[in-house]
Amino acid sequence: MNSKTKRTIKILSISLLGIIMIAIITPYIIPVSKAQKDYRPIVFENSKYLTVDNMLIHYRVWEPAQNQNNNQWILLLHGMGGSTYSWENNASVFCNAGYNVVAVDIPPFGYSDKNPDFNHSIDSRANLLWRFANKISLKANWILIGHSMGGGIAQCMATIKPNKVCKVIFVAPALFDELKPGRTLGQRFASFGPVERVMAIIGEAFYIKPSKINEILESSFATTVPDSVSDEYYKALSTNGTAYAFIRSYTRSNPEKHINGLEFNTPALAFFGNNDTWVPYSSVEGIIKQLKSVEVIFFESAGHSLMETHHEEFNKRVLDFLQN
């Protein structure tokens, strides 16, 4: 190998190293919002906060005017990107029917903790929410209502503590057949620090924008969305630290132990919209058919967030199921 060739290889090697260093360093130069510590905005009149396992959780409570200790408790679990606001058309109706109702912002969404180091696996979230629920009412036999991501969490909560749950309502649920420890290759690649930063930068720059949030909601709702609704979703998602924590909730998610989701045996109702392109019935049909305790209801013309778009019919069906 002559000196000219050696020099060329050296130049190329130095150039490649420089490109790699720039690719690694640049994401850390571009700012990404960080979560504010102990951030407790009173967003709604009934906003409350609890600290569970060093995680600050925002939640809301609706209690009947004639509150009695034997009133049943409902826990509302929103989907990905949602918040307690996702149940705005449902919570008060259930409360007026005599139920104590709790809606929770599942970290890192809404106004709950954005700790990027928390393990956001389904079972880890389920365990966190059980500890939260026990602080609300230790003796309650809970009714769980979960939408999309929240549906999978409700399935897990009822599977690991079946004696604490009397009924479950699924809304376009992201169900699972089993959980087992370990991360996918995609998760491992995406968990490389600069990659996480780049994804968070892209999220804040292009996705957490009013117009984009409205576009995403219209896809979920399968119809036009009022500005007032889009504004509430945007307000919650634009909270500092959401983008980075959301990315980490995917890259660092790792089930704590093996859980067989097919052991779910709680009386349940599952709602699906025929126009749902996010979690269509066909995507979980194989699991649903193995869960003998689940009754399925389809809503014509409904999309993914049917408890918001078809709330009157949804509320009626839920209360009929709970009271019969």
**pLDDT at residue 246 in the model:** 96
Nearest-angstrom CA–CA distance, 96 and 65: 8
CATH top-level class for 47-181+256-323?
alpha beta
**Beta strands per DSSP E along 172-292:** 178-179, 259-260, 268-273
Q: What is the 3-state secondary structure (H, E, C) of 155-186?
A: HHHHHHCHHHEEEEEEECCCCCCEECCCCCHH
**pLDDT at residue 67 in the model:** 65
For the chain, which residues make up each domain, given as ranges?
A: 47-181+256-323
Strands 178-179 and 259-260: antiparallel
Nearest-angstrom CA–CA distance, 44 and 71: 24
Q: Which positions of the chain have pLDDT values less than 50?
A: none
**pLDDT at residue 1 in the model:** 59
**pLDDT at residue 162 in the model:** 97
CA angle 84, 292, 282 (to 5 degrees): 65
Nearest-angstrom CA–CA distance, 10 and 1: 13
Residue the block writes with tokens 């994401």: 27
Whole-prediction pTM: 0.93
